[in-house]
Amino acid sequence: MKKLLFVSSFLLIALQSVNAQALYKSTWESIDSRPVPAWFSEAKFGIFIHWGLYSVPAWAPTKGKVYEKYAEWYWARQNPADKPSAAFTDFHNKIYGAKTEYPDFVSEFKAEMFDPAKWAEIFKQSGAKYIVLTTKHHDGFALWPSEQAWNWNSVDVGPHRDLAGDLTTAVKASGLHMGFYYSLYEWYNPLYKKDLPKYVSDHMIPQMKDLVNRYHPDMLWTDGEWEITSDQWKSTEFLSWLYNDSPVKESIVVNDRWGKDTRGKHGGFYTTEYDIDGDQAVKREKSGRPWEECRGIGGSFGYNRNEYLEDYETSESLIRILVDKVSKGGNLLLNVGPTADGRIPVIMQQRLKDVGDWLAINGEAIYGTQAWKHSTKSKKDPNMFFTTKGNDLYVIVTKWQDIPMTIKDVPHVNAVTLLGFKGKIKYSSVNNQLTITPPVVSPSDNLSRYAWVFKIDGGAI
């Protein structure tokens, strides 16, 4: 009996250790085999937040190539020894004086108006389902009490507050997913420059593990990966820890920025940015992998005081961008750049509110949807977009039409409705071609603004 007990408990231990064996190995093949957790593709709309020391000078030119307008690049652009841009250097010398150094801005980064619960309320109202905060951008300044960034984090200096922690608590309490942006490289960290392996093992990986263990984020959005390979960053090693052993191993979502060899190839979802990257971006969108476009409301991620109203996208344009990305199966991560004192500029709040009002009526055609398989073939009108959910097809028009609209490849139609509209919609269906006659409407119908959704019950069968 004793022997039997001994043998069976031995077997049990052996079985347990098989179970405990790493499910995901430290190879891209293995890491890529993990499906991106479903919540991500269902969410469709998220908010990016670029906030840090660069929010103090908060300046960039408003003309030029896309990345030349990024105010969060201030330190490198203003530095004549690095990636100089005359516009940044001139502005810096004129306003702050050549002797002022970027780290001096820390005394002006106070975040005294930062109200995380209010931010979370604004985000919730926008209809976004997830938030991504820059916990550390390329300047290396940490928005949480990072041991590795001693005296270069928001608790030791500046606001004297755990900005990432406080926001995470508020965002999670409002029922949204919380994600962290994290820059792998740091422009001027001496360790990164002199001893890369040590930077990776003693600074970068401990920081990422600290973020994960401390705050249990739902997403890790890495960046600044382009100078070296994913092998040098030890990315697959870190990801196998994240997927096998971390407290968020089931739910964590990551992107594709893990080394100069990985964008659009490895990791979790693929990223595009301000629609740059042309063909590469299109490849990512068509890869069958979940993907996400990120961009600002204006031309910058970090707050840019130099922008005027005309530099911001209108609500109409933002809703069109959202609809376009979602109709191709992607997500939109729309950025806000808070000020150094912790406010979300009112113009950005206004844009988010408009998107939220639109989603409150039309969210059914966005959340949890997929691209329609006939979309490219049937899409003749540049202002018409399609999504599907279950058996239903959604036709989203970004320009109201008074004349009948035709859609091909719709063999089944049970009913047609206009979201947010109580009246009946006239339609006919002949030879798989659906014709919808938009209703005559009056202001008292209170239709949504900017884009309208016809729901074709059974249209996706």
Give the binding site for ligand GLC (CB under 6 A).
70, 72-73, 223, 273, 294, 301
Q: Least CB distance from residue 340 to ligand GLC, whole Å? A: 17
Give the residue with the Cβ less far from ligand GLC, 219 or 418.
Answer: 219
Dist. CA 183–CA 54, nearest whole Å: 14
Give the residue with the Cβ less far from ligand GLC, 162 or 225.
Answer: 225
Dist. CA 153–CA 141, nearest whole Å: 5
Q: How far is residue 399 CA from its own chain's centroid?
A: 27
Q: φ and ψ at 398, to 5 degrees?
A: -95, 5
Q: Least CB distance from residue 224 to ligand GLC, whole Å? A: 6
Sheet harboring 426-430: ordered strands across?
A: 405-407, 433-437, 426-430
Q: φ and ψ at 431, to 5 degrees?
A: 50, 50
Query: How many C-beta atoms lie closer than 10 Å to residue 241's C-beta?
Result: 18
Give the residue with the Cβ less far from ligand GLC, 76 or 361.
Answer: 76
Q: Least CB distance from residue 203 to ligand GLC, whole Å? A: 19
Q: Least CB distance from residue 174 to ligand GLC, whole Å? A: 24
Q: Least CB distance from residue 72 to ligand GLC, whole Å? A: 5
Give the residue with the Cβ less far from ligand GLC, 237 or 256.
Answer: 256
Q: Least CB distance from residue 136 to ligand GLC, whole Å? A: 11
Give the residue with the Cβ less far from ligand GLC, 70 or 199.
Answer: 70
CB 361, CB 421: distance < 8 Å:
no
Give the residue with the Cβ less far from ligand GLC, 273 or 275.
Answer: 273
Dist. CA 57–CA 203, nearest whole Å: 27
Q: Least CB distance from residue 352 to ligand GLC, whole Å? A: 18
Q: Least CB distance from residue 273 to ligand GLC, whole Å? A: 5
- Owner of token pair 């949807």: 369
Give the residue with the Cβ less far from ligand GLC, 57 or 438.
Answer: 57
Is 248 strand, coil or helix?
A: coil
Sheet harboring 219-223: ordered strands across?
A: 253-254, 219-223, 177-183, 130-136, 45-49, 331-336, 291-296, 270-273
Give the residue with the Cβ less far from ligand GLC, 70 or 270.
Answer: 70
By DSSP bridging, strand 392-397 and strand 384-389 are: antiparallel
CB 42, CB 367: distance < 8 Å:
yes
